[in-house]
């Protein structure tokens, strides 16, 4: 890759804003020793997942706040399909 392209990507990366979202709330089907959400489902309503309205607003606001050409979404919270494939279809549709 040309040096100019590396410099441009580095500048864009510095300006990027990265957010990790846990749309499943406390719900998780894994038991990772390092998880900061461990056993939170006992304290929090485990069915409290991100609503369609909040999801759509989050995606809209996140995309519009970016100043770089590449936008990345990071989802956290157990198996990626824990919310079902329809969740990810909605993400793409929004």
Every domain of the chain and the residues it spans:
17-93
Angle between helices 52-65 and 85-93 in degrees, nearest 10: 40
Query: What pLDDT, in 10s, does the model give residues 70-85?
Result: 888 888 776 667 888 8
State pLDDT tens for residues 32-72.
777 776 566 565 555 677 889 999 999 999 889 888 888 88
Q: 29 phi and psi, to 5 degrees? A: -110, 15
H/E element, 21: strand 20-21
Threshold 0.75, pTM exceeds = no
pLDDT in the model for residue 31: 73
Q: Is there a contact between 83 and 23 (Cβ–Cβ < 8 Å)?
A: yes
Query: Which residues are registered as beta bridge partners of 75?
Result: 21
């Amino acid at each position: 890759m040309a040096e100019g392209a590396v410099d441009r990507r580095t500048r864009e990366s510095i300006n990027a804003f990265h957010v990790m979202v846990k749309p499943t709330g406390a719900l998780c089907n894994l038991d990772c020793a390092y998880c900061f959400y461990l056993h939170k489902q006992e304290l929090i309503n485990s069915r409290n997942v991100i609503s369609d309205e909040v999801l759509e607003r989050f995606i809209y606001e996140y995309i519009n706040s970016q100043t770089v050409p590449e936008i990345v979404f990071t989802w956290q919270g157990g198996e990626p399909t824990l919310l079902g494939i329809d969740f990810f279809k909605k993400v793409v549709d929004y």
